[in-house]
Structure 1
Amino acid sequence: MELKVLIAGRYRLNTTIGRGAMGEVWQAYDEMGRRPVAVKLLHAQNSEPTAAARFRLEAQTAGRLSHPHVVGVLDFGEQEGRLFLVMELVEGDSLAHLLTQAGSLPAEEVARIAAQSAAGLAAAHEQGIVHRDIKPGNLLLDADRSVKIGDFGIAQFMNDPGGALTATGQLVGTSLYIAPERALGQAAGPASDVYSLGCVLYQLLTGQPPFRAGSPIAVLHHHLDTAPVPPRELGARLPPAFENYLLGLLAKRPEDRPTARQAAEWFAAGAWRGRPEPLPAAVPHPEPHATPWNPSVGSSWNSAPGSATTYAFPSAVTSTAPSHRTRRRQRTGLRAVVVPRSRAAGTIAAVVVFLAALLVGVALFSPDHSSADTPPTDPPRTTSTTPAPPQP
């Protein structure tokens, strides 16, 4: 086909911006709509038997989506035996190209990419579409660095599991980013896309995918059986909340992962920043059971039998005459069980009165009482119990 001729009478091809096994992508200009576009052309003699069906599927699936974070499909057709797909032109790099230049990205940038990518996936999932090939090369950044999900060529409708367009037992997708359930040959679901996105985010933070090995089969085994190394152990600088959530995206069981919508909202809300980690909680202790003050008892603080008074500060010393430091602590609101000065004076007076009354009672009513019990204070005098005879 002569490339100087318009495709469908309106799309003029300019330069090639990508090539693959199925076809090639051109930067073009829509002379009718007066805007730049991308035109994807299927190879005329494509050897893959499902290539045409997959090409049509991409047009069908992406054409159902209209979302700011999904590459929009504008037109689809055939000219001179070649299928073509007209798409929104994304004037930027893919994340794969960005990784080759930067190696890794800061947490702030990755969180933004996560929020936008998850939002685009959520839109597809809500239309019943599973992408099945989320990887850095299929996440594009436009001139404003906004994420666009592209290449729905192996997407699958959730209500049509048989439409995978692969031979029985054939695994589609990239092994570095494939979910464990798909490694077992199970059907892809929305949670599979979430796992793949988690793998991409992991690589953006650390510079490497979560699992690497010498062969694709060995990588699949890691997805099934190996826990990913926490990114901070590989030098990634990110808040603990971000790391914990990312590891949740990489959960082995699909039901343990958040949905794409939940992930989009979580990252967009800034929850990935987390909060300062709180100090360890103090061990709770039972409060003493105080009883009303009764002077006759002689104590203003009584605990229930067998209970112990608990102090907030183990070094604080409880006394009936608190030190200046203890009284100052009490005024500043720090908990310490001390007896105020006025109450302490009343307590001492009550004790003195009680002891005096006790001594008097013993002296008056004891059956063994005699004057001999009290030591004399004057020199001894001679006394007689017999009356003296009268004087003559």
Structure 2
Amino acid sequence: MGEVWRAEDEVLGRAVAVKLLLGDQADASSTARFRLEAQTAARLSHPHLVAVFDFGSWEDRFYLVMELVEGRSLGDLLEAQETVHPEQVARIAGQAAAGLAAAHRQGIVHRDIKPGNLMLDADGSVKIGDFGIAQFVDDPSTALTTAGHIVGTSLYLAPERALGRTADSASDMYSLGCVIYQLLVGQPPFRSDTATATLYQHVDTPPVPVRQRGVDVSPAFDSYLLGLLAKKPEDRPSAQQVSDWFRTDAWRGRPEPLPHHSAAAPRAAAPAAPAPAPAAGAPAGGGPSTYRLPQATGRRRAAPAPRASRSAARSATTRRISTSEAIRRRPRVASAVAGTVAFLAAVYLGTILFAPDTGAADTPDPGSTPTAGIESPAPAGASVDPAGDGDDDD
């Protein structure tokens, strides 16, 4: 429909591409289509879409000033090499789908996705161009399709469009699937001697999986590509879904990472046995309760807890005595034990000290005078009668 020239933007000082409408094609329909391409591209801004800077006419010829893409189209790539490595195909598919997703969000359907309209710049990035037969979804009159005439390329045309139905975003995804298929296999999924026969194949013939054609791709890649080539538009993934899928390693057949969820707090198990008494030197304070560790097989169990502790455990089986509570009970228990020991010691000493004499002393003579008591010493100057007569000398 036109020819493209490299030019220099003298105002902004940058290299641009200028698309000229050929003089012998400057009829009303071609002019309207050229204007449509300018209006369509002006609504789009995305790294994987060719940007349009200006539109006008010069000497009765319309021109379109566009972003200059330093590279080649996928059509040129397929002429240079029959097939493309799956790694590069996955990258191309993801970027092309991202560009289409941006157009679809603006309500624009490209309607002519084919290798010649997908450009690769110097870095290998995809740029989608030529929106000359694009259609605004909210304005079907922009289709520029006359009755009984199908606009587009039959090798990449969706089944619903082959049946004369209105194109939508799913139609672009089918065309992209045909391009991906050709990049892997070396030819489109359907090809016949005539365009009409090819259209019938799009409608009725299921595509042959690329793995059956000897292409070394994962089953996941093969299956996903068949989904893009589904006969029913509602069975195909959206452009955004395709872009997201190829950005991951899913096409390699690797499992996708599980979504991250915050781990739920583990549910505390009910205690199976009462807590043992805290060890000596345990820190005081209101710390968390302590729990008995499971007994190892073959080891002896620890000594049973005091009766008071077992009684407390029976009365509240789901409650643990905290370390601070156990420590507060220790002085009372120690005082009771110390009092008991002191009492027993006092009884023992009293038994020894105050017990009756059971030794081997002589029994006094019954005829002798018993001793009445202990005699007091005589006062000074008085004589003592040894015989005990009590007579004083005159």
Question: Is the structural similarity TM-score above 0.5?
Answer: yes
Question: Does the residue aligned with 2:5 lie in a helix, a strand or coil?
Answer: strand
Q: Indicate yes or no: 2:63 matched with 1:84.
A: yes
Residue 266 of structure 1 is matched in structure 2 by: 245
Instruction: Report how far residue 133 of structure 1 moved.
Output: 0.1
Q: Indicate yes or no: 2:95 matched with 1:116.
A: yes
Q: Indicate yes or no: 2:140 matched with 1:177.
A: no
Q: Which residues in structure 2 correspond to 1:52-201 (within 5 Å)? A: 52-201=31-180
Equivalent-residue separation in structure 2 for 1:233 and 1:122 (angstroms)? 30
Instruction: Report how far residue 47 of structure 1 moved.
Output: 5.8
Residue 318 of structure 2 is matched in structure 1 by: none
- 1:42-67 deviation line (CA, Å, top 9, x unaligned): 12231654100000000000111000
Instruction: Report how far residue 79 of structure 1 moved.
Output: 1.4
Equivalent-residue separation in structure 1 for 2:141 and 2:2 (angstroms)? 24
Equivalent-residue separation in structure 2 for 1:273 and 1:34 (angstroms)? 44
User: Could you tell me whether the CA contact under 8 Å between 1:50 and 1:166 is conserved in 2?
Assistant: no
Q: Which residues in structure 2 correspond to 1:21-32 (within 5 Å)? A: 22-32=1-11
Q: Percent identity?
A: 66
Equivalent-residue separation in structure 1 for 2:70 and 2:127 (angstroms)? 11
The one-letter amino acid of 1:147's match is V
Question: Does the residue aligned with 1:198 lie in a helix, a strand or coil?
Answer: helix
Residue 17 of structure 2 is matched in structure 1 by: 38
Question: Does the residue aligned with 1:45 lie in a helix, a strand or coil?
Answer: helix
Instruction: Report how far residue 244 of structure 1 moved.
Output: 0.5
The one-letter amino acid of 2:79's match is T
Q: Indicate yes or no: 2:206 matched with 1:231.
A: no
The one-letter amino acid of 1:134's match is I
**Structure 2: any 5+ residue segments left out of the alignment?**
256-394
Question: Does the residue aligned with 2:215 lie in a helix, a strand or coil?
Answer: coil
- 1:206-247 deviation line (CA, Å, top 9, x unaligned): 001000101000000000000111101111111111110000
Equivalent-residue separation in structure 2 for 1:50 and 1:36 (angstroms)? 30
Question: Does the residue aligned with 1:200 lie in a helix, a strand or coil?
Answer: helix
Equivalent-residue separation in structure 2 for 1:116 and 1:48 (angstroms)? 35
Q: Indicate yes or no: 2:228 matched with 1:249.
A: yes
Instruction: Report how far residue 275 of structure 1 moved.
Output: 2.5
Equivalent-residue separation in structure 2 for 1:44 and 1:180 (angstroms)? 34
Residue 311 of structure 2 is matched in structure 1 by: none
Instruction: Report how far residue 109 of structure 1 moved.
Output: 0.3
- 1:224-281 deviation line (CA, Å, top 9, x unaligned): 00011110111111111111000000000000000001000000122111137xxxxx
Equivalent-residue separation in structure 1 for 2:26 and 2:35 (angstroms)? 16
The one-letter amino acid of 2:143's match is A
The one-letter amino acid of 1:227's match is P
User: Could you tell me whether the CA contact under 8 Å between 2:157 and 2:175 is conserved in 1?
Assistant: yes
Q: Which residues in structure 2 correspond to 1:350-389 (within 5 Å)? A: none
- 1:173-212 deviation line (CA, Å, top 9, x unaligned): 0000000000000000000000000000000000010001
What is the total number of aligned residue pairs between the two structures? 256
Residue 29 of structure 2 is matched in structure 1 by: 50
- 1:12-38 deviation line (CA, Å, top 9, x unaligned): xxxxxxxxxx22110111121111100
User: Could you tell me whether the CA contact under 8 Å between 1:106 and 1:237 is conserved in 2?
Assistant: no
Report the aligned-residue RMSD.
1.3
Equivalent-residue separation in structure 1 for 2:193 and 2:28 (angstroms)? 29
Question: Does the residue aligned with 1:77 lie in a helix, a strand or coil?
Answer: strand
Equivalent-residue separation in structure 1 for 2:110 and 2:80 (angstroms)? 26
Instruction: Report how far residue 80 of structure 1 moved.
Output: 1.4
Equivalent-residue separation in structure 2 for 1:93 and 1:187 (angstroms)? 31
The one-letter amino acid of 1:77's match is G
Q: TM-score normalized by structure 1? A: 0.64
Instruction: Report how far residue 169 of structure 1 moved.
Output: 1.9
The one-letter amino acid of 1:118's match is A
User: Could you tell me whether the CA contact under 8 Å between 1:73 and 1:88 is conserved in 2?
Assistant: yes
Equivalent-residue separation in structure 2 for 1:48 and 1:207 (angstroms)? 37
User: Could you tell me whether the CA contact under 8 Å between 2:114 and 2:176 is conserved in 1?
Assistant: yes
Equivalent-residue separation in structure 1 for 2:70 and 2:61 (angstroms)? 25
**Structure 1: any 5+ residue segments left out of the alignment?**
1-21, 277-392
Following superposition, which runs of at least 4 residues in structure 1 exceed 6 angstroms of deviation? Answer: none
Equivalent-residue separation in structure 2 for 1:96 and 1:201 (angstroms)? 12
Question: Does the residue aligned with 2:72 lie in a helix, a strand or coil?
Answer: coil
**1:248–1:53: structure 2 CA closer, same or farther, 3 Å change rule?**
same
Q: TM-score normalized by structure 2? A: 0.64
Residue 186 of structure 2 is matched in structure 1 by: 207
Question: Does the residue aligned with 1:252 lie in a helix, a strand or coil?
Answer: coil
Instruction: Report how far residue 161 of structure 1 moved.
Output: 1.1
The one-letter amino acid of 1:87's match is M
